[in-house]
A and B are shown apart, each in its own frame.
Chain A
């Protein structure tokens, strides 16, 4: 349910004018709910930033997600996969 909850909160933040990106575990849920920008993760629930005590991996996920905002051309909702470019 976390996948849907963060997406619904993101939509409201975006409606009020701030760009958002949500991380998502379940591609099926991301496609059904449709948050504006989502980065799909190849990790199990409970491990959104990949691995504990792995700052390099954690930051790479954060940076790829935050950089999705810079693409103002591709239509929303937009779903990317972590590690793809």
Chain B
């Protein structure tokens, strides 16, 4: 279980003092389809890229606000985790990228008839963003517009 107590002292002090962004008012979109008829997309903050894409840049002050589209048909062996944070154990994702970007699990849910369809692409970004202004102003709206154009019905967002 993740609790603040498991983090390093430096991380805990940072998080205690950090001015968290409060989402207000809370937006609400309602579903117009059942889950079994819905097109699903993922958004992962694990810094995943395809091996032919540019890795995320952990030297950007305040955090790299860019994102990549990951094609759903990407072979799992072509996914590379480029998140540089030392605050979490990377071995699980290295062993099984589904842990953070569950492409194969979506295929299985579709085969089981539990979801309607899978979007042709998913959003990937690196979550260690302490200055989220550009993420809020530029990146998030661009991701949202893309998913809207794709006709996505529900989005599952996975932190790391």
* A12 near B20: Cβ-Cβ < 8 Å: no
Query: Which range contains the number of A residues in contact with the other chain?
Result: 35 or more
CB-CB under 8 A for A53 and B160, given A43-B1, A77-B23, A77-B26: no
Q: How many residues of B contact A (CB 8 A)?
A: 71
List CB contacts (< 8 Å) of B85-118 with chain A. Answer: 87-93, 95-96, 98-100, 102, 104-106, 108-109, 114-115
How near does chain B come to A15, taking the closest CB pair, in angstroms? Answer: 4
Q: Does B13 contact A (CB under 8 A)?
A: no
* A12 near B156: Cβ-Cβ < 8 Å: no
Alpha-carbon distance A32/B91, docked complex (angstroms)? 29
Query: Which 3 pairs across A and B sit closest by C-beta, in order of nearness?
Result: A2-B127, A52-B96, A46-B88
Given contacts A15-B29, A15-B144, 16 further A-B contacts (CB under 8 A): A2-B45, A5-B128, A8-B140, A9-B139, A10-B155, A19-B30, A19-B155, A36-B26, A44-B2, A46-B91, A46-B160, A49-B158, A62-B106, A66-B35, A72-B30, A77-B26
Residues of A within 8 A of B (CB): 1-26, 28-29, 32-36, 41-53, 55, 58-59, 62-63, 65-67, 69-70, 72, 76-77
6 examples of A-B residue contacts, CB within 8 angstroms: A9-B125, A9-B139, A14-B27, A55-B104, A66-B115, A67-B35
